[in-house]
Structure formats: C-alpha cells, structure tokens
C-alpha cells in the first residue's frame, strides 16, 4: 500500500504502438483529473522519461483522440532503460517531477520496466497494449481487435484477386513469437493453410501436397496465412511455384496492421482499463497489471503476470485445421 496519497500521475506508451492506446491515455487523463489528480504525459516511452520529455495534460489535450490510431504520446524503444543505472535514473526523474503514480501502456517488455520502477518506489500500473494478444494474464490486449480486423479485410481483398488469377497466395501477418493474428485470420478468412510459430513443423512438402490436392479437387485459389515469426514469404512463394507449377504470390501486410482507427471494442475496453489503472493508483496499489478475464476487468501482480505462460491450445489449432479445405483428423 502507498504510504502517502497520490497527487500526480504520469502515463506513457512503450514498445510497439497499438490501436486503442489513445483511448487508454484519454481515460487515464480524464479519470485522473476527475479525481482531483494532476496528470502528466511522458512522450516517447521510457526514452522520453530519461530525456525528461514530460508535459502537463488537460482534458482538452485528449479531445478528439479516441478515434485515432497510433499513440499521441509517441513511443520508442529504449536500450538504456534495460540497465540498472537507467532504471534508477528513471525513478529519480519521476520523483523530481512529482510523479508518484505511473501508468505504463505496452507489452511484456514495458511491464518489466514498470516492475523495476515499482521496486524503486514509483507506484506503477501496467496496461496490456499489443496487437499480438500474447500477454498471458489477460484474454484481451489493446489493439488486437483492430489489427485482426484490418488483416482480415486485407486478406479478403487478396483472395478476390487470387481467385481471378487462380493463384496460390501467401499472406504474411504480424506476430514474431505469437500466432494469434494468423490463427484468427486463418479461421475468419477460410484459409487453406495457416503457419504459426507455436505449431509449424517446417514440412514444406506437406504444404505443397495440400496445394496440389486442392487444385485436383477444383479449388481455384489457395490461401496460406503465414505468421511473421516464420516469415520468408517471398522465398517460400518461389519454392511453391517451382514445385507445383501454380503461380504463387507473397503479400506482406506489415505495419498497416498497427494503424487505423480502433474498433469499438478497442475503444471501450482500453477506456475501461485506463480508468481502472487510475482507480488502482488512488487505492494505493502498485506493481499491478490490468487484465480482462471471464467478462471482468481485473488486476494481477506484475511478477505473477510476467511469470505466466500463454500458448495456443491444441483444441484451437485442431479446429483451425479442421475448417481448412483438405484436413482429415484421422490422416494428418
């Protein structure tokens, strides 16, 4: 519990940007102000903290931001903050500016930084902001819903042209270590094959056999959703075309998945999480992560949250495969 009443809170976004971060920032600012707190925005994540790029924020500063993608506070990577010296300097800067509560919006790396600040006496609350849905303590992360809908709509468009030309299309979505975007798009877009880092066996011949079998059955196109963590989509397309004789194209969706106006879900859930973060600080809580589980917004100890493991279940994967064109449960 905090020994003194919180008077000033700060908010920053760190790591990769995600649609809905602005909704969370707006909620932190307005919830804080409505409770009589001073609110400071820290620009460019931990990098901006160390450079003292800190501004006072009013309710007007977050007007007309909820519908915008990206983050109005900007974000940056910060190698220095991974060092003990950088973390101590960050805590000193917070104290210098009177910041006795800090809301950090980002992923696991951002939470690790928040954990260090909490250990150095700065009350910190983490909000899960990542399009990868890879934070174990929560069923929802800010930005995933928008990103997966952006990818789904783009894949629908690629399918149209792929069908017209009777092509095989490899569409690469983001997700270096987590295949949630690829899995969801695989189901939502009716892909013939889905490649994710958690489950891929690197058996390219099986992929080639699937494409040939589909063509024999009269299928006019073949959609492969490939997660960024597997990558090499261009080279894979060339190998598949050489092996099958079927024109094959790679489309890498890239950073378009990070941008765009957030969906209603990302706006509402991010707002609820931002408000809860402020409430937790007012209650004297520190070293917590806000999450969403079983229909409720909840909070976890950061240490506990970082120790949790998250993976794609065998059932989710089996369902994804069973809905594809060639899958036979008894003859994989």
Q: Is 132 a catalytic residue?
A: yes
DSSP state of 166: T
Spatial neighbors of 197 by CB under 8 A, at least 6 apart, are: 175, 176, 177, 178, 179, 227, 229, 230
- 267 marked as binding residue: no
Which of 54, 51, 52 is CA-nearest to residue 41? 54
Is 332 annotated as belonging to a binding site? Answer: no
78 assigned ligand-binding residue: yes
> Annotated binding residue at 107?
yes
Q: Residues 6 or more apart from 25 whose CB is under 8 A from it?
A: 11, 13, 41, 62, 65, 71, 72, 73, 105, 274
Reading across the β-sheet that carries 288-293, which strands appear in turn?
54-56, 38-42, 8-13, 101-106, 123-128, 288-293, 296-301
Of the residues 132, 134, 145, 266, which is catalytic? 132
* CA dist., res. 257 & res. 253, Å (int): 7
> Is there a binding annotation on residue 52?
no
**Would you tell me how many other CB atoms lie within 10 Å of the CB of residue 202?**
8
29 assigned binding-site residue: yes
Instruction: Please say whether the beta carbons of 215 and 261 come within 8 A.
Output: no
Given a contact cutoff of 8 angstroms between Cβ atoms, the answer to whether 273 and 127 are in contact is yes
Rounded distance, CA 272 to CA 20, Å? 11
Listed residue (208, 210, 214) closest to 242, CA to CA: 208
Annotated binding residue 192? yes
Confirm or deny that 298 is annotated as ligand binding: no
32 is known to lie in a ligand binding site: no
b (16+ CB within 10 A) / e for 265-292: ebbebbbbbbbbbbbbbbeebbbbbbbb
Confirm whether residue 132 is marked as ligand binding: yes
186 is in an annotated binding site: no
Q: Please indicate if the annotation marks 291 as binding a ligand.
A: no
Tell me if 75 is assigned to a ligand binding site. Answer: no
| Residue 208, annotated as binding a ligand | no
Find out whether 275 is annotated in a ligand binding site: no
Q: Does the annotation list 176 as a binding residue?
A: yes
Q: Is 16 annotated as a binding residue?
A: yes
Are the C-beta atoms of residues 68 and 37 closer than 8 Å to each other?
no
* Binding site as annotated, residues for ATP: 16, 77-78, 107-110
Active-site annotation, residues: 132
* Binding site as annotated, residues for ADP: 26-30, 159, 190-192, 217, 219-221
* Binding site as annotated, residues for Mg(2+): 108
* Binding site as annotated, residues for substrate: 130-132, 167, 174-176, 228, 249, 255-258
* Binding site as annotated, residues: 16, 26-30, 77-78, 107-110, 130-132, 159, 167, 174-176, 190-192, 217, 219-221, 228, 249, 255-258
């Amino acid at each position: 519990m905090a020994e003194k009443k919180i008077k000033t809170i700060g908010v920053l976004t760190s790591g990769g940007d995600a649609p809905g971060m602005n909704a969370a920032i707006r909620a932190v600012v307005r919830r804080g102000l409505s409770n009589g707190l001073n609110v400071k925005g820290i620009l460019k994540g931990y990098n901006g903290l160390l450079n003292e790029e800190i501004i006072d924020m009013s309710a007007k500063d977050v007007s007309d931001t909820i519908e915008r993608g990206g983050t109005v506070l900007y974000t940056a990577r910060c190698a220095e903050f991974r060092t003990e010296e950088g973390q101590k300097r960050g805590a000193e800067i917070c104290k210098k500016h009177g910041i006795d509560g800090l809301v950090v919006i980002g992923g696991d790396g951002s939470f690790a930084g928040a954990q260090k600040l909490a250990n150095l006496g700065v009350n910190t609350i983490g909000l899960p902001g990542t399009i990868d849905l890879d934070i174990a303590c929560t069923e929802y992360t800010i930005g995933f819903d928008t990103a997966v809908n952006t990818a789904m709509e783009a894949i629908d468009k690629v399918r149209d042209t792929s069908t017209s030309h009777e092509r095989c299309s490899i569409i690469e979505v983001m997700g270096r270590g987590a295949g949630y975007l690829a899995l969801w798009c695989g189901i939502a877009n009716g892909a013939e094959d889905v490649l994710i880092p958690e489950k891929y066996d690197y058996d390219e011949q099986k992929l080639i056999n699937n494409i040939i079998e589909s063509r024999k059955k009269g299928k006019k196109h073949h959609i492969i959703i490939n997660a960024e963590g597997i990558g090499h989509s261009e080279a894979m397309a060339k190998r598949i075309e050489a092996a099958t004789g079927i024109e094959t194209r790679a489309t890498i969706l890239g950073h378009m998945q990070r941008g765009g106006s957030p969906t209603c879900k990302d706006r509402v859930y991010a707002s609820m999480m931002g408000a809860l973060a402020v409430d937790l600080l007012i209650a004297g809580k520190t070293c917590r992560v806000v999450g969403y589980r079983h229909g409720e917004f909840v909070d976890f100890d950061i240490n506990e949250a970082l120790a949790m493991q998250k993976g794609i279940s065998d059932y989710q994967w089996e369902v994804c495969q069973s809905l594809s064109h060639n899958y036979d449960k008894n003859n994989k």
